[in-house]
Amino acid sequence: MNSASREDLGDVRKRIDELDRQLIGLLKDRMDAVQDIGSAKNRDQGAAVFDPRRERELREKWAKDAEAQGLSSFHTARILREILSYSRSEQVDQQTAAVADGMESHRVGYQGEELSYSHLCIQKLFASRGGRALPRGYESFRKAVEGLQSGEVDYLLLPVENSICGSIPEVNQHLASGQLSVVDEDLWIVEHCLAGLPGAEVNNLQVLHSHPVALAQCQEFLASMPSARAEAVYDTGAAARKVAEEGDRSIAAICSEEAAEHFGLEVLRRSVGDQPKNLTRFLLLGRQEEELDLDRPAKTSLVLSVHHRRGALAEVLQVFAERDVNLTRLESRPIPESPFEYLFFIDLEGHARSEHLREALQEIRRHCNHLKVIGSYPARPLEARDVHLPPVETGPPAVAPVVKPAAALAKAKTREVMVSDVPVGGADFVLMAGPCAVENRDQIMSAAAMVAERGASILRGGAFKPRTSPYSFQGLGFPGLDLLVEAGRAVGLPVVTEVLRPEDVEGVAASADMLQVGARNMQNFALLKELGKTRRPILLKRGMSATIKELLQAAEYVFAGGNQQVILCERGIRTFETSTRSTLDVSAVPVLRELCDLPIIIDPSHAAGRRELVLPLAMAGAAAGADGMIVESHPEPDAALCDKEQALHPEDLQSLVQLLKAILAAQGRRLYC
Ligand code: PEP
Ligand code: MN
């Protein structure tokens, strides 16, 4: 290359630099315009960022202009694609910033794509809720729920039932998980259209895309078109987009009219559904409950399971009937872990905080193993129908409290909690006995035989031990639990064992019949919350420094998670007195009896700390009216690895049972066997 051409090159490069500068300036101007459009979309209730019709127009224009100038339309199309993607991401950022600005914008997740029925219903619902909705589509219900849980969106709108197909099992499953709150509802009138490219002919269609449910709802229409093949797409909005993108007149979608219009499709036929009336009910879900004006007509959603005995469901329904509570949905779903047992989904009219419903919920608790209020929300007038307005009151929590209102005290009976097949809180007194800790196979097998022979009906034994000193025996953990269960089975007794950590709850609940919360963990709220999710009864021990009210509040944590099976245990509290390990607060028994309807048992062993004191304290507890007792007893107390001073010898246990029987007889009660 000679020096002259090198100079020319320099000039050309300068020219290119200048053109690039202009290109960037133009790009900047273009992005400013894109932002103006973004602001307009935000004002328009979060209108869709992606506008395929407009993008198609641009592609066509660019191709024409590029070719007219002698450029390759292939390469210019690639540049345009990048520019459009940059523009869209800028508008998405704008929407996110609008949320951050506190402009009352709400990110709302849904399953599907833009212009699906869920997406359309979001716009409808937020038009009446107020605030701007920024919809975000997810490919599956599970991903949408994860999006809500991780905080990626503020709400989720999920379809829960359809007037033709019934409920959507996967959505019910997420509701049952207890992680979400229902904060609103809405109804969408589904009108399926057949939509194709402009100029498409119904008789020439070969493929019909739609959501499988929509296809199932258009069976008669599909049968009338034998030459067209139905193909499932995960959502009706996506079906319409696919038809628009494929540009083939032999393909059509079954979708909403709005989706057809948005994607530039022509409605070839309206009302292609088999039923003229097709309604889908959607629930708006949040991470937590929302304040709701008690004067507004409300609905409440519950998930519950009832005791496995005759008439339990009828009793629940009877409570609602007697209190004039109108049910708007009652459905059941199998509980996979417990074959042929069912979870019930109940929606009813009224606010869970109204006096009316609080009383009803308080009463049905007695018949439920599991009861969770998953939300009270505005009753949207779904169709012209009377909305029953119960009397309202402000204040107390949505889940019926453990503490009974004074008026209910006199008539309420203690509720029975079933530990496997042993009823605690019923007419008979229940004795639970066993060693402090599971130490080895021989020890727990002989302990099980010993307590069963002497009249205990539940075997205790710690596999995870909460020890004051880190150098003391800490328990055998899960292998110890296996031994305990094996020993219990061998003598036909259900077992109770302590769980220390939230992460162990699932594993312990898989085999123990009842899970114990020790005194040291009574206010371990993470543990209590986890126990709220299980289906096993909980033996909740009073903390050493806990008041009775705090004990009840701890029980409330378990209830709030849904689990309604809690047995309270008085095990001694720390006072200035040092001659006993703890001071057994016998008065807690009648006081708790006054305040709640839960079974109450006593633990004389941990209160006494000394074997000689266990029997007198045990008698005091039974005389005070406890529903049962848990005592430590070891086949060879002197060899015990844990709490040996308080462990009863086999013969002490024998005497305890004899004395107990006499007291119970005087009270007109019996020892359960
Ligand atoms: C126990 O029952 O083994 C126990 C540790 O009791 P507490 O939590 O009452 O001390
Ligand atoms: Mn102990």
pLDDT at res. 69 = 94
DSSP bridge pairs for 424: 417
Task: Please write down the HEC assignment for all residues of 632-648.
Answer: EECCCHHHCCCCHHHCE
The residue-averaged pLDDT of 387-398 equals: 35
Give CA–CA dist 11/479, Å, rounded.
83
662 has pLDDT over 50: yes
Give CA–CA dist 165/136, Å, rounded.
25
| Eight-state DSSP code of residue 133 | E
The interaxial angle of helices 3-43 and 73-100, nearest 10 deg, is 40
pLDDT digit string, tens, across residues 213-264: 999 999 999 999 889 999 999 899 999 999 988 889 999 999 999 899 888 8
Ligand 1 atom closest to the Cα of residue 603 is 9
From 460, 465, 469, 541, the mutation candidate for ligand 1 (largest count of ligand atoms within 8 A of CB) is 541
CB 135 near ligand 1, within 6 Å? no
The residue whose CA has the least distance to atom 8 of ligand 1 is: 518
389 has pLDDT over 60: no
Decide: 552 and 581 in contact? Cβ < 8 Å.
no
Q: Which ligand is nearest to the CA of 643?
A: 2
State the alpha helices, DSSP H only, in 350-459: 355-364, 406-409, 441-453
> Ligand 2 centroid vs 465 CA: distance in angstroms?
8
Give CA–CA dist 284/373, Å, rounded.
15
CB 571 near ligand 1, within 6 Å? yes
pLDDT at res. 467 = 87
Set 236, 280, 414, 497: catalytic member: 280
DSSP bridge pairs for 107: 134
Q: Which ligand is nearest to the CA of 460?
A: 1
**How does residue 387 score in pLDDT terms, banded at 50, 70 and 90?**
very low
DSSP bridge pairs for 581: none
From 520, 631, 646, the mutation candidate for ligand 1 (largest count of ligand atoms within 8 A of CB) is 520
3-state helix, strand and coil shares in percent for the chain, rounded to the nearest 5: 40, 20, 35
Sign of the dihedral through C-alpha 230, 236, 242, 243: positive
From 436, 521, 641, the mutation candidate for ligand 1 (largest count of ligand atoms within 8 A of CB) is 436
From 473, 516, 524, 642, the mutation candidate for ligand 1 (largest count of ligand atoms within 8 A of CB) is 516
- Told to judge if 280 belongs to the known catalytic residues of this protein, a careful annotator would answer yes
pLDDT at res. 404 = 52
Give CA–CA dist 153/139, Å, rounded.
14
- The residue whose two tokens read 């709701």 is 292
The residue-averaged pLDDT of 600-618 equals: 97
CB 381 near ligand 1, within 6 Å? no
Lowest model confidence (mean pLDDT) among 12-26, 337-351, 421-435: 337-351
Decide: 529 and 399 in contact? Cβ < 8 Å.
no
CB 466 near ligand 1, within 6 Å? yes
The residue-averaged pLDDT of 324-330 equals: 92
Decide: 82 and 26 in contact? Cβ < 8 Å.
no
296 has pLDDT over 70: yes
487 has pLDDT over 70: yes
Strands 327-334 and 207-210: unpaired
> Ligand 2 centroid vs 175 CA: distance in angstroms?
39
> Ligand 1 centroid vs 433 CA: distance in angstroms?
13
CB 472 near ligand 1, within 6 Å? no
Ligand 1 atom closest to the Cα of residue 516 is 2
The residue-averaged pLDDT of 422-448 equals: 97
Structure tokens at 342: 């069912």
**Overall pTM surpassing 0.75 (yes/no):** no
pLDDT digit string, tens, across residues 28-63: 999 999 989 888 877 765 566 777 778 888 989 999
Ligand 1 atom closest to the Cα of residue 572 is 9
CB 434 near ligand 1, within 6 Å? no
Q: Which ligand is nearest to the CA of 467?
A: 1
Q: Residue 591: which residues within 8 A CB-CB, separation 6 or more? A: 548
pLDDT at res. 384 = 30
pLDDT at res. 613 = 97
**How does residue 100 score in pLDDT terms, banded at 50, 70 and 90?**
low
CB 462 near ligand 1, within 6 Å? yes
Please give the full DSSP string across 449-476, using - where no structure is assigned. HHHHHTT-SEEE-BSS---SSTTS----
pLDDT at res. 84 = 87
pLDDT at res. 297 = 84
> Ligand 1 centroid vs 495 CA: distance in angstroms?
15
The residue whose CA has the least distance to atom 5 of ligand 1 is: 518
Please give the full DSSP string across 61-93, using - where no structure is assigned. HHHHHHHHTT--HHHHHHHHHHHHHHHHHHHHH
Q: Residue 484: which residues within 8 A CB-CB, separation 6 or more? A: 438, 444, 459, 461, 463, 495, 497, 512
> Ligand 1 centroid vs 439 CA: distance in angstroms?
16
The residue whose CA has the least distance to atom 4 of ligand 1 is: 518
> Ligand 1 centroid vs 519 CA: distance in angstroms?
6
pLDDT at res. 371 = 92
Give CA–CA dist 387/380, Å, rounded.
9
- The residue whose two tokens read 């209830």 is 559
Three-state secondary-structure class, residue 318: helix
| Residue 107 CA: distances (Å) to CA of 98, 99, 145, 665 | 10, 8, 13, 64
Set 282, 344, 464, 559: catalytic member: 282
Lowest model confidence (mean pLDDT) among 58-62, 332-336, 344-348: 332-336
> Ligand 1 centroid vs 596 CA: distance in angstroms?
23
pLDDT at res. 661 = 96
**How does residue 164 score in pLDDT terms, banded at 50, 70 and 90?**
confident
Q: C-alpha 87: how far from its chain's center?
A: 38
- Told to judge if 282 belongs to the known catalytic residues of this protein, a careful annotator would answer yes
Mean pLDDT (the chain, rounded):
89
